[in-house]
């Protein structure tokens, strides 16, 4: 498949602090790719390099077949960005903010209205921005990021400050956008969000990528050969190693109708990150 993003041995140093240490990865067309890591791991710096807001100290970064050193308006028109510094005009209304950017990229009124509904701001079109909560501003920024129907969408912590119900609607919207052909690159420290949305994830720790694969493959790789059994009349679960002897035990419990529940061990994304790095995601 075509690579939309290519990073090769990218390093970024601010004064005497190395934020990224020779990171390499590719993002394929129509993929939802997640970069996971705790605060300060280098996630936002990676997005800023990929959107040509800052230049790497060394290495190569290519986006939509163009080197980030030579981005122009033609490339940026194919990209959507939601980041922590995506400013809005505080004295304008929600609608006026969105319309301003919609007019620039040629979006029609019906599409803009539909996007506002999808992000939960349909009833707040005439609200002045400075009266919005942080979560409402986040939703407006997402609407603005997708107003040009981008080929590639960068999302830096897209559902931070959102309550679970709104976050779930945003997830549905992102899946729909992706199904229509938009490649999505997101950073997050929310392991549930990454597990739910991403085709592949990369763990970023202290400026270095320490694992990269699909959530399913990572869970299989770090799973334990343990089965947990619950028998009728017992409050505690029994942990058994997967082997032929214990398979016979389970069979006998099934035949005697003593088996109430059976579970395999599957680590969470955060469990895996902790195991690999010794650090929690949050």
pLDDT tens per residue, range 42-82: 998 999 999 998 999 999 999 999 998 887 778 878 999 88
**Beta carbons of 230 and 261 less than 8 angstroms apart:** yes
- Assess whether 140 and 246 both reside in one domain: no
- Assess whether 233 and 115 both reside in one domain: no
Indicate the burial class of 3 (C-beta count within 10 angstroms; 0-12, 13-18, 19 or more): middle
Which run of H or of E encompasses 255? helix 244-255
Do the domain assignments include residue 103? yes
* pLDDT lower than 50: segments of the chain: none
- Assess whether 215 and 184 both reside in one domain: yes
Q: Global pTM?
A: 0.85
Residue 49, pLDDT score: 94
- Assess whether 159 and 204 both reside in one domain: yes
Question: What domain range includes position 254?
Answer: 224-265
């Amino acid at each position: 498949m075509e690579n939309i993003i290519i990073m090769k041995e990218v390093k970024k140093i601010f004064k005497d602090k190395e934020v990224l240490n020779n990171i390499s990865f590719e993002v394929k067309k129509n993929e939802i790719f997640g970069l996971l890591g705790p605060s300060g791991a280098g996630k936002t710096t990676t997005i800023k390099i990929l959107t040509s807001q800052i230049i790497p100290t060394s290495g190569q970064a290519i986006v939509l077949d163009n080197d980030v050193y030579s981005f122009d308006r033609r490339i940026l028109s194919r990209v959507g960005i939601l980041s922590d510094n995506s400013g809005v005009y505080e004295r304008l209304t929600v609608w006026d903010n969105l319309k301003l950017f919609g007019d620039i990229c040629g979006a029609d009124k019906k599409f803009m209205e539909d996007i506002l509904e999808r992000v939960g701001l349909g009833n707040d079109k005439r609200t002045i921005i400075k009266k919005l909560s942080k979560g409402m501003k986040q939703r407006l920024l997402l609407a603005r990021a997708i107003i040009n129907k981008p080929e590639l969408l960068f999302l830096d912590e897209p559902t931070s400050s959102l309550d679970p119900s709104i976050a779930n609607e945003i997830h549905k919207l992102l899946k729909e956008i992706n199904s229509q052909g938009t490649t999505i690159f997101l950073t997050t420290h929310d392991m549930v969000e990454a597990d739910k949305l991403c085709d592949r994830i990369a763990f970023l720790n202290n400026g270095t990528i320490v694992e990269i694969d699909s959530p399913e493959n990572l869970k299989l790789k770090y799973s334990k050969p343990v089965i947990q059994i619950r028998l009728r009349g017992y409050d505690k679960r029994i942990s058994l190693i997967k082997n032929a002897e214990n398979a016979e035990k389970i069979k006998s419990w099934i035949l005697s109708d003593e088996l109430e529940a059976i579970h395999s061990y599957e680590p969470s994304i955060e469990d895996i990150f902790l195991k690999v790095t010794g650090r929690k995601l949050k």
